[in-house]
Structure 1
Amino acid sequence: MNTETHNFSNILHENQNKNWVRAIDSSKIISWLDDLFRIIFPEKALETIQIELLLEQNKAKFTAILTEINKDKTSTKSRAVTAAFYSKLPDLYSAMQQDAQAILDTDPAADCIQEIINSYPGFFAIEVYRIANAISGLTNCLLPRILTEYAHSKTGIDIHPKATIGIPFIIDHGTGIVIGETTIIGKHVSIYQGVTLGALQVEKSMEEKKRHPTVEDHVIIYANATILGGSTIIGNHSIIGGNTFVTKSLNPYSFVMQSNKNTVLNQQEIKEINFFSI
C-alpha cells in the first residue's frame, strides 16, 4: 500500500470516529416502508391473522432500524418508540384514506381509489410525510428525514417531516413542490406543481423560529406560486393563482392572480421579428 493511500485511510478512520458516517443503509429503511405500505394497501385482501403476523414482522424491522441508527445496544428506547408509533397507525391509516378520498372527489382525472394509491405521486409523498411526521414527534433521529427524502427522490415533492399538515390534503401533479419545516397547512388544502411554501431568508440563527407560511383551511394554490415568510398567513377559502409571489398575509376568501397580460400576434405578419435574439 502506498503512502498516500495509507494517509488517506487514516484520515477516513479518524473522521468516522467523529460521526462522519451514514449511520444506516437507507435501503433498509426503504424496505421497511415498502413492507408497511404492502400491509396498509395490499395487492389483494389479507386475512386478519396474516395482517397481524406481517405487522409483527414490520415492527421488528422498525425496532432494528431505530436501534442501529441510535446505537441503542439494549434497544429499550427503540422498543418504546416502536410501540408508540404503531399505536398511531390506525389514525395514520384513517388520514391516508381521507387524503385519497379527497383526491378522488376533486380530481376529474381520478377514476378510482386504486388508481390514486398505485399511481399518484402526490398521494405517495403525502403518506410518506404522514409516517415521517409521526416518527419525528417520537424520536429525534435521521429516520424521518430519510423517509421524506426518499419520497422527494421518487416524486420531486419535498415535504419536511416536521411541517404541520391537516387532513385531508391534496397534491395534484406535484413535481417541484417545496414545503418547509415550520409550514402549517389546514384542512382541505389543494396544492399544484411547482408551489413553494418557503422562508423569506435562510439563516442558521433562525432555526428555532417560524420561517414558513401558514395556509388555512380550504385554500387552493395553483402551479408555481411562491408563498414566503413565517408571519405570512393565507386566510381560509383563498385562491392563489399560478406564478404569483406572496410575502404578506391575506384575508379569508382572497383571490390572488398575475396581472400581466398575454400578447397575441399574427405570425404571418411578423416574419422579420426575431424573438430569440439576445
Structure 2
Amino acid sequence: MTNNLVEQKIIETIARLSNPESYKLVCHKHMQGEPLPSNKNLTRVIELVREILFPGYFGSTTLKSSITPHYMGVYVDELLELLTGEILAGLCFECTDESSNKIEKHKEGAQEKAVSFIEFLPEIRRQLVTDVEATFLNDPAAKNFGEVIFSYPGIRAITNYRIAHKLLELDVPLIPRFITEMAHSETGIDIHPRAQIGESFTIDHGTGVVIGSTCIIGKNVKIYQGVTLGAKSFPLDKDGNPIKGIPRHPILEDNVVIYAGATILGRITIGENSIIGGNVWVTNTLPANSKVVQKRPKDVPFTDGAGI
C-alpha cells in the first residue's frame, strides 16, 4: 500500500468519525473546564472509605489510640476534597443548564453532599460490621473476621453498595452507579445502588449475583452465587419503551436463604424464614417459612451424599 493511499484512507476515516450524525447518541457535550467523573478518582475514594471503615486492614492506619485520629483526619480531608469534586462532576454532567455559572452553581451543593456522606460513615461502618459478622458466622470455611474483610468478594461488593446507596439517598447523580459497577467488574456481583438492603447481609461466593434496583431485602438474608433478583416483565409506554422507576423486583423478608442459581422474578414477596433451593424459578409470592426445591424425579434414588 502506497503512502498516498494510506493517507487517503486515514483522511476518509477521520471524516467519517467526525460526522455528527454518527455520534449524536454517544457524545456528551460539556463546557470547557467542566469536570467529568473520573474512574481514577473514584477508585481512590473507595480506597479511602475502606481505610476509614476498616482501620488496620487497608492503607497504613495504626490502631494506636493516640495516633488513629491523625490518620482519620488525613483520610477524611483527602476524601472530602476528592468526593466533592466527583459529586460536582456528576451534578454538572446531568445538569441541563448551560449558563456560564453552571459550575459555581453546583459547588456549594456538592460540598454539602460530601459532608453529609462523611457524617454518615459511622453508620455505614455499623452496617458493615453486621455484614462481616454474618458472613463469618455463615461460612464454616472462614477462619476470622480479617479473612472476610480482606478477601471475600461479597463484602467488597456490599461495601461499595452501602457507599453508593447513601450517595443516592443524597441525590448524587451518576456517581453511585459508577461505584457499584466498579464492584461488579471486580467481583461479578451486580447490586443496583437503589436497592434497599438490611443489615447482616451475606453473599456467599457471589459470582453472577444480580440484585435489581427496586429490590427490598430484609435483615439476616443470605444468598449464594448465581442468584438473580430480577424483573419478570417491563410495562411499556405508548411508544413501546419500558416504563422506568416502577417497583418490579422481589421483596425478601428477614432470615431468607436463597441457594445457588435460583431466579426470583417480579414484584413478589418471599416471606420471612423461607428457603429457596438451588436452580429454581420463582415468580409467585410465598408465605413465611416456605421451602421451595426442585422436584426429584421418581426414578432417581435419594442419597444423603455418603461416599461422594
TM-score band, normalised by the shorter chain?
Answer: 0.7 to 0.9
- How far is the alpha carbon of 1:13 from its aligned partner? 11
Q: 1:185 aligns with which of 184, 195, 217?
A: 217
Q: Which among 24, 27, 48 is matched to residue 40 of structure 2?
A: 27
Counterparts in 2 of 1:16 and 1:223: CA distance versus 1, 3 Å:
closer
TM-score of the two chains, using structure 2 as the length reference: 0.79
Cα deviation for residue 114 of structure 1 reads 0.4
Quick one: distance in 1 between partners of 2:70 and 2:44? 22
Mapped to 1, the partners of 2:125 and 2:49 lie a distance apart of: 11
Change (3 A) 1:213 1:20: farther
SS for the counterpart of 1:197 is strand
Q: How does 1:128-277 map to 2 (within 5 A)?
A: 128-203=160-235, 204-230=241-267, 232-261=268-297, 263=300
Question: Which secondary structure state, in structure 1, belongs to the residue aligned with residue 103 of structure 2?
Answer: coil
Distance 2:27 2:89 in 1: 17
Displacement of 1:9 in angstroms is 2.8
Instruction: Name which of structure 1's ranges 21-30 and 192-201 shifts more when overlaid on structure 2.
Output: 21-30
- 3-state SS of paired residue (1:202): coil
| Number of corresponding residues | 263
- SS of the residue corresponding to residue 206 of structure 1 reads coil
3-state SS, counterpart of residue 124 of structure 2: helix
Distance in structure 2 (CA, Å) of the matches to 1:84 and 1:188: 27
**Deviation string for 1:58-90 (max 9, x for gaps)?**
111100111223236221110111111111111
Residue in structure 2 matched with residue 267 of structure 1 by the alignment? none
Distance, in Å, in 2 between the alignment partners of 1:251 and 1:14 is 51
How much is the aligned-residue C-alpha RMSD, in angstroms? 2.3
Equivalent position to 1:58, from 79, 90, 112: 79
The residue number in structure 1 matching 2:20 is 11
* Percent identical residues: 38
Q: Distance in 1 between matches of 2:44 and 2:153?
A: 18
- Residues 196 and 216 in structure 2, CA contact (< 8 A), matched pair in contact too: yes
Matched, 1:88 2:120: yes
Cα deviation for residue 57 of structure 1 reads 1.2
Q: Match of 2:123, SS?
A: helix
Question: Which one-letter code corresponds to 1:248 in the other structure?
Answer: N
Residue 305 (structure 2) aligns with: none
Match 1:97 to one of 126, 129, 138: 129
1:14–1:210 Cα change, 3 Å: closer
CA deviation vs aligned residue, 1:25-75 (integer Å, no higher than 9, x gap): 322211211122122223352521221121111111100111223236221
CA distance in 1, matches of 2:281, 2:22: 48
What's the secondary structure of 2:126's corresponding residue? helix
- Give the counterpart letter for 1:256 in structure 2: V
Distance, in Å, in 1 between the alignment partners of 2:90 and 2:247 is 28
Using the size of structure 1 for normalisation, the TM-score is: 0.87
Q: In the alignment, is residue 73 of structure 1 matched against residue 103 of structure 2?
A: yes
Unaligned runs of 5+ in 2: 1-9, 93-101, 236-240, 302-308
Cα distance in 1, alignment partners of residues 294 and 161 from structure 2: 31
Amino acid paired to 1:172? D
The offset of 1:23, in angstroms, is 3.6
Between the aligned partners of 2:147 and 2:117, the Cα distance in structure 1 is 28
Deviates more, 1:128-137 or 1:32-41: 32-41
Partners of 2:154 and 2:26 in 1: how far apart? Answer: 39
My pick for the range that moved more, 174-183 or 73-82, is 73-82
